[in-house]
Amino acid sequence: MTKLDAKIPAGPIEKKWDQHRFDLKLVNPSNRRKYEIIVVGTGLAGAGAAASLAELGYNVKCFGIHDSPRRAHSIAAQGGINAAKNYPNDGDSIYRLFYDTVKGGDYRAREANVYRLAQVSNAIIDHCVALGVPFAREYGGLLDNRSFGGAQLSRTFYARGQTGQQLLLGAYSSLCRQIGKGQVKMLPRREMLDLVVVGGRARGIVTRNLVNGKIESHSANAICLCTGGYGNVFFLSTNAQNCNASAAWRCYKQGALFANPCFTQIHPTCIPVHGDKQSKLTLMSESLRNDGRVWVPKKKSDRRPPAQISEQERDYYLERKYPSFGNLVPRDVASRAAKEQCDDGRGVGSTGLAVFLDFEDAIKRVGKGTIEEKYGNLFEMYERITGEDPYRSPMMIYPAIHYTMGGLWVDYDLMSTIPGLFVLGEANFSDHGANRLGASALMQGLADGFFIIPYCMAGYLASTKFDKVDIAHQAFKDTELRAQTQIKKLLAVDGKRTVLEFHRELGLLLWEKCGMARSEAGLKQALEKIPEIRAEYWQNVKVPGVNEDLNQSLERANRVADYFDLAELLCRDALERVESCGGHFRVESQTEEGEAKRDDEHFAHVAAWEYQGSDKVPLRHQEPLAFEHCKPTQRSYK
Amino acid sequence: MTQNLNLTLKIWRQANSDARGRFETYQARDVSPEMSFLEMLDFVNEELTKEGKEPIAFEHDCREGICGCCGAVVNGRAHGGLAGTTLCQVHMRHFANGSTVVIEPWRARPFKVLKDLIVDRSPFEKLQQAGGFISVNTGSAPEANSIPVKREDAELAMDAAACIGCGACVAACPNASAMLFVSAKVSHLALLPQGKAEALARAHRMVARMDELGFGNCSNEAECEAACPKRVKIANIARLNREFLKAALFGPIARKGVPSA
Ligand SMILES: Cc1cc2nc3c(=O)[nH]c(=O)nc-3n(C[C@H](O)[C@H](O)[C@H](O)COP(=O)(O)OP(=O)(O)OC[C@H]3O[C@@H](n4cnc5c(N)ncnc54)[C@H](O)[C@@H]3O)c2cc1C
Ligand code: FES
């Protein structure tokens, strides 16, 4: 049985990282070129890791699905990135950022990791500015900050509504510099299909060349998995189409533990579903709730246009239920409240699955010009998609899956339970507990990639004696065969239903039973139904074309095959966690007023799952969480 | 609610870069005006798959207009011709019922077709690697606010940095020039104090690489600006020329056909 040792350094929390960096072994500069490191993914975590490791002189091979590293999903982040600079002089500090993040995560994250994240946050901003990231500035030429995600101070740095794009382009430019120097070998349009483990250590990967279908092996001394989150298991989400769980999932099947899969985040302000042919949901930045008022008609099934519904006939339910936070309650609370209204028959729009987000009062108060200055690009995006003008009639919004806090389990060194396999960015579980605060995913991706992995990697390499392993090793042959067999199997089914249809069916089921509200009965139903859909998939899916070609249907078929298994684990994890915390709301565990109720006595731990074989129930391990600095309290936004 | 649409699609099909391509005609029936253009293609692909035919390959990811994956020439216009809009953000309500829609890949010498509507934009990577960066190693940056940046400069840099690298500018240019792409990167970095130290060398290296890669010369057609879904301006090209001319003063550069600033 795998033992979980988070390897949290001893000593006071402020000193842990410094002391640990001192204790970690170093690799002498002239020896670094003897090591090969594989980085999978080119988002903030991957591009940052590949660039910083190459700068140190390691030989890096970097992989991504896209034609260019710049297209990784980090590019789509809108709002901003947190740091504890305290430029506005409003009382911020490393300690406060740490505290807010642990509390925001509903006391399900590791204190030591979060403290380190807050500690390196300032260096991230310094580095990004040096790389040429055009952050917003004040008239005096210094950096501007805004408030975000219900924080009581302004600590968010931003570049218009395109912060993720600008940060990724910064990390990408460092990566390009290293590719140009030959220190990174970039392999684009490659999808990792499996991990190669030799003698208990991660020693390579097997990939598929997405242009010609070639199955290829790559060996290394260590692997950094930076493959992002698994929100697309729900089919409709705010994630890009190529986001997937396969790389992480296949590592799980090789023995890496998967932690807290049921911790998924639902974002309250997305453009609602419009029809059954829809492929994705579009996020409308959380900042809109600073000025927009959320409401539904008081009368059930009231389908009159909003202008005809008088003030007395409207229910501003967030302001009514949460007078002190109003429209600015955290994401999980706002999402559940919207669902409640719609379940109750008060939803609006053609499907009844939407609520209004109204700017009429704000426009009256500050003028259309000011609103346009603040949110112009979002209003434009809204109009482009819906064909409606939000300056004249209220926006319609509904919650959607947005981010996954769960992921592969890692220790303080970001290493999974497979030695040599490091996991960075959204793909790991480490810093956000049961709920992520706005603007902290970008911070974590860059922290992991630029500022944490270089130290941990040296520590691992310098303290490990490596056997000589190259791709001639039998383990590579076996892994390639496994990947090929699965592809052949998928192509051979030649059934009647498309991959998309299966994915949509699974996603809907998961959204219903394991989305915003989860019950024992619902989860049990899902756990019965998922294996049925999976069984049908392997008998009735139709994957056109051949392997030896650019075959997008096959790419998707491979990913959806893993979603069935992941969906099952998600439900299992949700079923076992009989408490409500953060994004995980169990209907059995709520206060009398219907708010989420944590159970610290039984669940103040990380649940990490160990694969036991394809038809066996996985093993649930626990990593207890101790809170020495942030004393758990029940969150209240009344 | 507007009615659903029936459309005739003429789509470029090409098995791989060596194969010869041709237009194929498809009927898209009962298309909801609320669908995005790419969702309409998904819909057609679902039908093709069920009929046992190969779906149309097209590149896409974010479907929000930011990753730069998508792009095709639709009825002769890059990204369909809606101002400031990527193809993934075009919705079907802009098409008339019964109309014919012609869809083809970017056509530009440096971008070869990989399959159907997918082209190889890797020459952009080589341009970027030639100098599209500031040479700073992790850990060596000064405190972020130690160098103030004029707000106008930061805003102009941001305008240029908004480029998503989709390739529409190259596809729209009669000479297949990459001047808008290169100039946007050069401008973004040259406008910031952090990027000034390398500005000349950067412009020099990126322009030289552009020639090597077979991109054409800029003859001030301004088609690139019209096609850019992120509204990147040709004023950046003028700025590149200034930087480039400055570079030319400092070192001899063999370069043909640079339009005068
Ligand atoms: C719409 C939206 C807005 C957001 N806004 C914000 C915000 O304002 N602030 C904030 O802090 N966070 C925000 N987030 C969250 C944040 O963007 C992500 O959590 C973060 O960018 C993830 O970065 P990453 O490097 O871990 O992974 P990603 O950027 O997702 O990169 C994953 C990489 O892995 C590659 N990959 C995946 N699978 C494979 C495989 N099998 N083989 C090879 N390569 C593979 C991909 O090609 C890609 O390069 C937002 C998220 C969304 C969806
Ligand atoms: S799919 Fe990302 S820009 Fe169109």
Q: Which of B3, B37, B38, B67 to mutate to test the interface with A (most CBs of A within 10 A)?
A: B67
- pTM: predicted TM-score of the whole model, two decimal places: 0.97
Question: According to CATH, where is 3.50.50.60 located in chain A?
Answer: 16-265+403-462
**pLDDT at residue A332, as a whole number:** 85
Per CATH, the number for B5-115 is 3.10.20.30
Asked about A346 being catalytic, the answer comes back as no
Is residue A224 pLDDT above 60, yes or no? yes
The residue whose CA has the least distance to atom 3 of ligand 2 is B65
**CA A303–ligand 2 middle distance (angstroms):** 34
- State how far the Cα of A298 lies from the Cα of B236, in Å rounded to an integer: 54
Name the token pair of B129: 């690697």
Q: B52 and A544: CB-CB below 8 Å?
A: yes
- State how far the Cα of A385 lies from the Cα of A205, in Å rounded to an integer: 40
- State how far the Cα of B10 lies from the Cα of B42, in Å rounded to an integer: 15
Angle between helices A474-493 and A520-540 (to 10 degrees): 90
Check residues A18 and B250 and name the one with the higher pLDDT. A18
Q: A180 and B60: CB-CB below 8 Å?
A: no
**pLDDT at residue A68, as a whole number:** 98
The alpha carbon of residue A171 is apart from the nearest alpha carbon of chain B, in Å, by 10
Is residue B254 pLDDT above 60, yes or no? no
Where residue B15 falls among pLDDT bands split at 50, 70, 90?
very high
- φ, ψ for residue A610 (rounded to 5)? -110, 125
Question: According to CATH, where is 1.10.1060.10 located in chain B?
Answer: 122-255
Where residue B255 falls among pLDDT bands split at 50, 70, 90?
very low
Would you list the DSSP string of A278-312?
-----B--GGGGGT-EEEEESSTT--S-GGGS-GG
Residues 566-625, chain A, touching B (beta carbon < 8 A): none
Q: Which CATH architecture has domain B122-255?
A: Orthogonal Bundle (1.10)
The chain B residue lying nearest A74, using CA atoms, is: B67
Give the rounded distance of the alpha carbon of A259 from its chain centre: 13
Question: According to CATH, where is 3.90.700.10 located in chain A?
Answer: 267-401
Per CATH, the number for A267-401 is 3.90.700.10
**pLDDT at residue A377, as a whole number:** 81
The chain B residue lying nearest A83, using CA atoms, is: B144
Average pLDDT over residues A476-484: 98
Among candidate residues A250, A314, A331, A336, the one labeled active-site is A331
The alpha carbon of residue A160 is apart from the nearest alpha carbon of chain B, in Å, by 8
Residues of A in contact with B89 (CB under 8 A): 381, 384-385
The alpha carbon of residue A503 is apart from the nearest alpha carbon of chain B, in Å, by 13
**pLDDT at residue B1, as a whole number:** 53
**pLDDT at residue B248, as a whole number:** 67
**CA B11–ligand 2 middle distance (angstroms):** 19
For A26-30, A75-79, A336-340, A590-594, which range has the lowest pLDDT when averaged over its residues? A590-594
pLDDT in tens, B189-236: 999 999 999 999 999 999 999 999 999 999 999 999 999 999 999 999
Q: Is the CB of A38 under 6 A from ligand 1?
A: no
ipTM of the prediction: 0.95
Give the Cβ contact number of residue A308 at 10 Å: 9
Q: B139 and A381: CB-CB below 8 Å?
A: no
**pLDDT at residue A594, as a whole number:** 84
pLDDT in tens, A289-348: 888 999 999 999 999 999 999 999 999 999 999 998 889 888 888 999 999 999 999 999
The chain A residue lying nearest B128, using CA atoms, is: A176
pLDDT in tens, B109-166: 999 999 999 999 999 999 999 999 999 999 999 999 999 999 999 999 999 999 999 9
Question: According to CATH, where is 1.20.58.100 located in chain A?
Answer: 474-601
Write a three-state SS string for B66-108: CCCCCCCEECCEEHHHCCCCCHHHCEHHHCCCCCEEEEECCCE
Round the average pLDDT of chain B to a whole number and report it: 93
Q: Which CATH class is domain A16-265+403-462?
A: alpha beta
**For a substitution probing ligand 1, which of A74, A421, A436 has the most ligand atoms within 8 Å of its CB?**
A74
pLDDT in tens, A349-358: 988 999 999 9
Q: Which CATH architecture has domain A474-601?
A: Up-down Bundle (1.20)
